[in-house]
Amino acid sequence: MEKAEQIRVLRQLLGHLDAGTNVDAGGIRRNPSDAYTSPERARKEWDGFFREHPQIVGLSADLPESGAFFTRDDFGVPLLATRDPDGRFRAFANVCRHRGVVVESEARGQKRRFSCPFHGWTYDNTGALVGLPMPEHFGKIDRDCHGLVELPAEEHLGFLWVHPQPGQSVEAEQRLSGLAPELESWGFGRLVHTGEDTYAAAMNWKLAIDTFGETYHFKALHRNSLAQSFHGNVQAYDTYGRNHRMALCLKSIDELRGTPEDTWDIRQGAFPVYYLFPNVQLNVGLGGVILVRVYPVPGDPGRSVSRISFYAWPDTLSRDPDMIAQVQSTFGAVIRDEDYVAAAASQIGASSGVQDAVVFGRNEPALHHYHNTYREALGMEPLPLLES
């Protein structure tokens, strides 16, 4: 993040604190409750945002060296991601070319060969079919045409992108809508993977996204957790096409007062959270980065799964490994046990049918942006801005 931008954001936060103000969306918006309950809407989102849209599936640290692999099954196409002998990130449908069985069932590890559990067809980490038991019994088959189906994959600024449909293109740089230089400046490619978690919840996937969209709730929901270290209801907010960056205001920002601005690090006074369309929240801290990927459960608008990946900056990891473990448990205690509990309660409200809409305040601009972005992507009219 450019130094000038760090200073601008920190100044803005200090200005809000001094004036008792917050970001202002300019009005309120009402979001129809069926955004969270409609099977038809859920089906369109699944197709348009997941099955047929490029996905961030991890960071470079998930494939730290040649021979590393991981698997995912979050967006309709089971994925086998590898780093091949040339160090290149590759993505394949984790589906055997013989009879369609999922080939690799381990979540991650180091392997150069992947053997299908059913009959033992074996593929290498470039997807090539390199082993077929009893070929003389099986019959003639062109091995060159029976490698794993390769998916479009791009490693860009430390992000691993995959398009679930063969023959499509990822175009990662374009997807970032101008955020690329800032994301590049963080050096996400240096991170080290330190852990993973999964939060399954009885709520629409957009309710999980919504919980990351404002700090208005800190003093109530997080009064005994985040409110201890954050100024609630104070944030900076900037949009980049379909993406955005929020800067949450840490109480430690007050220590920057009176110090030279050119020594400021945004992370001393703020906690940047990037949202990358359609389903990624990237939390950037002094110790490391937390990548959250949220997925619908197909066929059920009232359920979703969040995949959480934790990464550390190498210097923090060597200096303070205990801090890394602490971050992981704190994140679970706040996001899973507070935010997602509240969001699942919102799902109960939405499903009850007693209210036709929920309301987004002028201090919740990210919610305005998310939902109008989703609507625009589905060809729907934007939610109108209402005076408040």
Contact 28, 43 (CB under 8 A): no
Contact flags string 256-275 toward ligand FES, x per CB under 6 A: --------------------
Contact partner, 3, from ligand FES, Fe ion, none, Cβ < 5-8 Å per class: none
Residue 116 binds which entry of ligand FES, Fe ion, none, CB below 5-8 Å type-dependent: ligand FES
The answer to whether residues 23 and 200 touch, using CB atoms and an 8 Å cutoff, is no
Encoded tokens for 306: 């969040």
Q: Does 99 bind ligand FES (CB under 6 A)?
A: yes
Alpha-carbon gap, residue 244 to 275, rounded angstroms: 5
Contacts with ligand FES: how many residues (CB under 6 A)?
9
Assess 121 for contact with ligand FES (CB under 6 A): yes
Helix residue ranges, H only, the chain: 3-19, 39-45, 135-138, 172-175, 180-186, 205-211, 218-221, 266-269, 314-319, 321-331, 340-352, 365-377
Q: Is 118 a binder of ligand FES (CB under 6 A)?
A: yes
User: Are the CB atoms for 112 and 80 separated by under 8 Å?
Assistant: no
Determine contact, residues 94/313, Cβ cutoff 8 Å.
no
Which listed residue (101, 227, 305, 323) binds ligand FES by CB under 6 A? 101
Query: Pick from 339, 360, 364, 383: which binds Fe ion (CB under 5 A)?
Result: 339
The region of 95-103, 137-145, 188-196, 298-306 touching ligand FES under the rule CB under 6 A is 95-103
Sign of the four-CA dihedral 189, 191, 194, 197 = negative
Span interacting with Fe ion, options 12-20, 105-113, 307-315, 339-347, rule CB under 5 A: 339-347
Contact 49, 377 (CB under 8 A): yes
Which CB atom, from 149 or from 227, has the smaller least distance to Fe ion? 227
Count of positions on this chain that bind Fe ion (CB under 5 A):
1
> How far, in Å, CA of 184 to CA of 141, rounded?
45
Question: Measured at CB, which residue is nearest to Fe ion?
Answer: 339
Alpha-carbon span 114 to 132, nearest angstrom:
12
When asked if residue 62 is in the footprint of Fe ion (CB under 5 A), the reply is no
The residue within the footprint of ligand FES, chosen from 30, 88, 98, 219 (CB under 6 A), is 98
- For Fe ion, the binding residues (CB under 5 A) are 339
- For ligand FES, the binding residues (CB under 6 A) are 96, 98-99, 101, 116, 118-121
